[in-house]
Amino acid sequence: MPDTYVLVHGAWHTGAEMEATATHLRARGHTVHCPTLAGNNPSDNRAATGLADAVDSLAAFIDSQGLTDVRLVGHSYGGMVITGVADRIPERIKRLVYLDAFVPVDGESVMTIRKAGALPIEKMTKDGFIIPGWVRPGQSFPKDVPHPLKTFTDPIVLKNPAAAKVPATYILTVDKGKRPEDDDFYPSAERAKARGWPVIIMEGDHVVNWRQPEATAALLLGLP
């Protein structure tokens, strides 16, 4: 039976970065959406966008499309957003998939949950945006965009106990030759494991969704 997937991008990205993986899922007959979250669309009032706005935008998209039994996949920062959406509308979600993504608890933000020594966000901020050195004009695809700081500093609000009943899977991507324990997202994978979720280790860098789209789609298709 065909499934419905919603693929949620990470920080500095838009829905376009998920399209390579989506292509392989669609080729197998599945319905796939790749929305761009509030704060990452150039037409938004982006510097003022917080985490709740990004969560609202994704929940509203699912509602506006009338989607149910959704396989909701969040990459990196997208893990924060899909967690918030599952708290809002757990009845619409068939499975959560965290693709090298944050797994927050109530009151945490990206800034408090990230692994110590990870990307020095504080040194990359300007005028309410996080702008790493790789975000620059004239890029070829994947074309990154400045990311609103508030989505990283705002704590997530989780209040719905029904969200804990939504099945979930964690995919940890680990660079070739690197130990999983040394990966920035290993603590999130360990949190997932402690919750009894299946944890899958995939060899690859952090952005397998565009560098290894066929393999990423195959993993998603193999989940229950």
Work out the number of other CB atoms within 10 angstroms of the CB of residue 155.
18
Task: For residue 76, indicate whether it is catalytic.
Answer: yes
Amino acid symbol at 119? L
Q: Do residues 28 and 221 lie in contact, with contact meaning Cβ atoms separated by under 8 Å?
A: yes
Name residues whose C-beta falls within 8 Å of residue 202's C-beta, 6 or more positions apart in sequence. 171, 172, 173, 174, 208, 212, 215, 216, 219
Candidates 43, 64, 76, 188; catalytic one: 76
Work out the number of other CB atoms within 10 angstroms of the CB of residue 69.
12
The structure tokens 């952005």 sit at 207
- List active site positions: 76
